[in-house]
Every structure is written in C-alpha cells, then in structure tokens.
C-alpha cells in the first residue's frame, strides 16, 4: 500500500542537506582551520538513538521538555546566561513556543537574552 504509521524523515531537511554540509565544511576547514577526518552529518538519528524519551508519563513521541532542567541549572549557577535566537518566519517550530516553555517552567528570565531575526528556522 505504500503507507506508514510514521514519516520517513524530517521534511525540513529536504533540499538543504548538500548545500548546508558544503557550506559548513568550507567554513570549518578554510576559515577556522579545523582538520577533521570524520564526515559531518546533518539530522542523523545516531546521537539520539539510545535517548530515553520517556522523561514524562506519555513518553515518545511527545517532545521532551528540558526547560525545567534549564531553570534548575540557572538557579544553581547564578552566572549561567542563555541566548534564545528565533526567526520571525520560522515554519519548523511553533512561534513563541520556547518563550512559553521558559515562562511556565521556572527559568530565570532576567538572565535570558531574546533575539529575533528577519529569517526562518536556520537564520545562520
């Protein structure tokens, strides 16, 4: 039937992988002088393959909300500062979703810098 219960991949990566990898490799090697032998991978599932997604009662596939740990870390370390950078035209993440999560989870807001850019999801 050709149908599936889950998506094949993250569609936000289609069409940009090759250009992004070429640009980052060029920047790392020519501009920063990084000499690396491992291949740079975009959106690979390897780092999170063994991740424990059941940090909440519902478990996977619900997103993992790490803002309570960020708030705890900021309360324990008064020198910890955070930069939240967001694109006004980001269609990959809910707009003001990060702000809402920070406000609801005890994060020290006076040590967070909120910067917004006339860009989409990947403003760099």
pLDDT at 60 over 60: no
pLDDT at 11 over 70: no
| Arithmetic mean of pLDDT, 68-97 | 90
Which tens digit of pLDDT belongs to each residue from 26-54?
A: 999 999 999 888 777 776 777 777 776 66
Secondary structure class of 62 (helix, strand, coil): coil
| Arithmetic mean of pLDDT, 111-120 | 92
| Contacts of residue 60, Cβ cutoff 8 Å, sequence gap at least 6 | 53, 54
Which of 33 and 58 is assigned the larger pLDDT? Answer: 33
CB-based burial label for 35 (10 Å; 0-12, 13-18, 19+): exposed
Residues in the chain, overall count: 124
Query: Residue 73 has what pLDDT?
Result: 93
- Cα 49 to chain centroid distance, Å, stands at 16
Secondary structure class of 123 (helix, strand, coil): coil
Percent of the chain with pLDDT over 90: 29
């Amino acid at each position: 039937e050709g149908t599936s219960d889950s998506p094949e991949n993250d569609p936000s990566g289609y069409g940009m992988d090759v250009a992004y990898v070429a640009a980052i490799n060029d920047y790392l090697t020519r501009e920063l002088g990084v000499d690396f032998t491992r291949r740079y991978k975009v959106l690979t599932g390897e780092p999170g393959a063994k991740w424990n997604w059941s940090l909440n009662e519902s478990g996977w596939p619900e997103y993992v909300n790490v803002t309570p740990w960020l708030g705890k870390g900021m309360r324990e370390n008064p020198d910890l500062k955070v930069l939240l950078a967001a694109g006004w035209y980001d269609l990959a993440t809910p707009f003001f979703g990060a702000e809402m999560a920070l406000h609801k989870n005890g994060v020290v807001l006076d040590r967070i810098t909120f910067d917004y850019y006339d860009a989409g999801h990947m403003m760099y």
